[in-house]
């Protein structure tokens, strides 16, 4: 049974700061990793995916993967109040296994 | 350019009634996934279907729950004899393919309340 662990938070950062969200996974054989954002009462939406060790950047978002440590992170630079949401880490084989999510609050 | 369509968006049932939740995947998508989200909980995988086939139902409760994805029409998640613990948001997602490149597109969810 694959497990994905996230700190539930809440994580609170001031506007303009870097928000760092972390995730660990149990299956060493996992190959692909996803970050979804879910606003309250809404459906999840994909932010980024990463397959290879290292960093992957997309605008203000950077995903980091360390397969040896079984660790995935998401950095959000220049955080905005509109980034306030729950961030879900997921591991994919042919279906996504989600963590419980980390609630991020960006304070103006 | 319709995304994943779910209906009803909100459903209220009394204990013992049946709930039917429908999901139409994005155009061109043949893979459908159902997830359940309890308050303050993450998304829990329930079932993965392709047209006319259940591929993985490892997350489905053994009793009262069933799912189908017929050749024509939407996928349906059926909950018989609902209990209060079934109250949750049920999300459907679809993808164009299976495998590690699969990006899931989620519907807006169906929120079931059992009185």
pLDDT digits 0-9 by tens, B10-42: 999 999 999 999 999 999 888 999 999 987 778
Nearest to A51 among B44, B100, B102 (CB): B100
Q: With beta carbons under 8 A apart, name residues in chain B contacting A92.
A: 100, 102
Q: Is B91 on the interface with A (CB under 8 A)?
A: yes
pLDDT cut 90: percent of chain A above it: 81
State how far the Cα of B2 lies from the Cα of B26, in Å rounded to an integer.
7
pLDDT tens digits, A26-74: 999 888 999 999 999 899 999 999 999 999 999 999 999 999 999 999 9
pLDDT band (50, 70, 90) for residue B98: low
Residue B90's closest chain A neighbor by CA? Answer: A43
How much is the pLDDT for B103? 81
pLDDT band (50, 70, 90) for residue B99: low
State how far the Cα of B13 lies from the Cα of B18, in Å rounded to an integer.
7
Average pLDDT, chain A: 93
Q: Is A46 on the interface with B (CB under 8 A)?
A: yes
Q: Is A21 on the interface with B (CB under 8 A)?
A: no
Q: With beta carbons under 8 A apart, name residues in chain B contacting A51.
A: 100
Which residues lie below 8 Å from residue A67, measured CB to CB, with a gap of 6+? A28, A53
Please give the C-alpha separations between residue A12 and each of A71, A84, A98, B17, in angstroms, as whole numbers: 21, 9, 22, 42
Q: With beta carbons under 8 A apart, name residues in chain B contacting A93.
A: 100
Please report where in the chains the tokens 């939406």 appear, as a residue.
A45
Q: Is the pLDDT of residue B90 over 70?
A: yes
Nearest to A98 among B42, B55, B108 (CB): B42
Peptide bond connecting B8 to the previous residue in cis, omega within 30 degrees of 0: yes
Q: Do A96 and B104 touch (CB under 8 A)?
A: yes
| Bridging pattern class, strands A45-50 and A54-58 | unpaired
């Amino acid at each position: 049974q694959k497990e994905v662990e996230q700190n539930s938070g809440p994580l609170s950062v001031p506007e303009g700061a870097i928000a760092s969200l972390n995730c660990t996974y149990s299956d060493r054989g996992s190959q692909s990793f996803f970050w979804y954002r879910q606003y309250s009462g809404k459906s999840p939406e994909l932010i980024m995916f990463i397959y290879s060790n290292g960093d992957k950047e997309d605008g203000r978002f950077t995903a980091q993967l360390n397969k040896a440590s079984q660790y995935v992170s998401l950095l959000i630079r220049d955080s905005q109040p509109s980034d306030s949401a729950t961030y879900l880490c997921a591991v994919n084989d042919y279906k996504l296994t989600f963590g419980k999510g980390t609630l991020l609050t960006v304070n103006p | 350019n319709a995304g994943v369509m779910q209906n009803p968006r909100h459903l209220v049932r009394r204990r013992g009634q049946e709930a039917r939740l429908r999901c139409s995947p994005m155009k061109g998508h043949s893979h459908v996934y159902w997830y359940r989200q309890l308050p303050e909980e993450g998304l829990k995988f329930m079932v993965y279907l392709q047209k006319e086939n259940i591929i993985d139902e490892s997350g489905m409760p053994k009793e009262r729950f069933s799912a189908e994805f017929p050749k024509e029409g939407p996928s349906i998640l059926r909950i018989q004899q609902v209990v209060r613990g079934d109250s949750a948001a049920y999300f459907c997602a679809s993808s164009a393919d299976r495998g590690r490149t699969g990006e899931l597109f989620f519907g807006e969810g169906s929120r079931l309340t059992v009185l």
